[in-house]
Amino acid sequence: GAGVSQSPSNKVTEKGKDVELRCDPISGHTALYWYRQSLGQGLEFLIYFQGNSAPDKSGLPSDRFSAERTGGSVSTLTIQRTQQEDSAVYLCASSLWGKGASQPQHFGDGTRLSIL
Amino acid sequence: TQLLEQSPQFLSIQEGENLTVYCNSSSVFSSLQWYRQEPGEGPVLLVTVVTGGEVKKLKRLTFQFGDARKDSSLHITAAQPGDTGLYLCAGASSGSEKLVFGKGTKLTVNP
């Protein structure tokens, strides 16, 4: 597709379950970002991938959160043993270069995660 | 830690009115981006400003980057219901790969 694709668009799960969120970036974009957005709030940086470099995981809120990017393309964000405070919209963005965050970021429509 | 403060947090106005949204920081940014987000969608880039004092216009929207590159403003002239959305500013620092986002201004333009 032409844009960043995220799946699922909505996910409802019970507290304590694990969830996987998927992001398919724009073809050719080497940088990929994950953000978390709580209701009506700004974006909280989670993790950044750039090419084959080690990811910047400095925004991950706990060790229950992890992410990987296979083949420099699709990325998966995994949350283990989900808690109610994990409920939020998880947004993925990609950009053409990672050389400086001034490059425009192209966002998917997000996954709305609800923990019961 | 770099922070971007946006004000006001909420703004509800009538169609045809003018408005200004502010984005302020104590930190210097190499560039600043403005995004607009509609419900159920991801943010969409409106503009990037990179030079202190720079002014960019996008139809009825005017963006300004402060001389010291610590603040920015977005002015909308004759607002329309289609301008409704969450406006986010995001700053980039030299040498950093990460954007710092403000919490956003939720704008509602009533017909």
Tens of pLDDT along chain B (111 residues) come to 678 999 999 999 999 999 999 999 999 998 999 999 998 999 999 999 999 999 999 999 999 999 999 999 999 999 999 999 999 999 988 777 788 899 999 999 999
What CA–CA distances, in Å, run from A66 to A2, A76, B5, B25?
27, 8, 29, 31
CB nearest to B41's CB, from A35, A102, A109: A109
What CA–CA distances, in Å, run from B59 to A86, A104, B56?
39, 20, 10
Min Cα–Cα distance to chain B from A69, Å: 17
pLDDT tens digit string along A58-93?
999 999 999 999 887 999 999 999 999 999 999 999
The length of chain A is 116
- Separation between Cα atoms, residue A60 and residue B91, nearest integer Å: 20
CB contact under 8 A, B97 and A100: yes
Mean pLDDT score, A1-26: 94
- One-letter amino acid at B84 equals T
Coil vs helix vs strand at A84: helix
- Separation between Cα atoms, residue B38 and residue B23, nearest integer Å: 19
* Residue A70: per-residue pLDDT: 85
Is A97 an interface residue toward B (CB < 8 Å)?
A: no
CB contact under 8 A, B98 and A56: yes
CB nearest to A107's CB, from B43, B92, B103: B43
How is chain A split among helix, strand and coil, in percent rounded to 5? 5, 45, 50
**Which chain B residue has the Cα nearest residue A50?**
B97
CA max distance for chain A: 40
Strands B105-110 and B10-14: parallel
Taking alpha carbons only, the member of A14, A32, A114, A26 closest to residue A76 is A32
CB contact under 8 A, B42 and A91: yes
B51-54: which pairs have CB atoms within 8 A and are 24 or more residues apart?
none
Residue pointed to by tokens 């980039």: B92
Q: Which residues contact B58 (CB under 8 A, 6 or more apart)?
A: B46, B47
| Torsion angles phi and psi, residue A86, rounded to 5 | -80, -10
- Separation between Cα atoms, residue A33 and residue A101, nearest integer Å: 11
* Residue B12: per-residue pLDDT: 97
Taking alpha carbons only, the member of A91, A109, A55, A102 closest to residue B90 is A102
**Which chain A residue has the Cα nearest residue B40?**
A109
Size of interface A-B (CB pairs under 8 A): 70
For A89, the token pair is 């919209």
- pLDDT band of residue A99 (cuts 50, 70, 90) is low
